[in-house]
Amino acid sequence: MEDLTKKVHYSINVKGKVQGVFYRASTKEIADQLDIKGWVRNERDGSVLIEAEGTESQINSFLDWCRQGPQYARVEKITWKEKPLEGFHQFSIER
């Protein structure tokens, strides 16, 4: 059985209509609500990159939200991979 309290780090890439639809601001709101630390930024290819740290259950809830995004987003594809913990202290929007 997996330990849902263990901290994990996921690098998440979201593709689709995810820029210009408040995806980053909404991601920060949800991350703060779920107590997830890390950052979000727009990528040059039109996708959004998120580095997120939290417990397995926090990250699972976060991924569920990322698959939908905010009201005007149209998420076409989401990929993620686990990475080593970096020890973020807050969640920020990178420019």
Q: Which residues are catalytic?
A: 24, 42
- Detail the DSSP E strand segments found in 22-66: 37-42, 48-55
Q: How far apart are CA 92 and CA 39, in angstroms?
A: 5
The residue type of 30 is I
C-alpha 28/C-alpha 86 separation (Å) is: 18
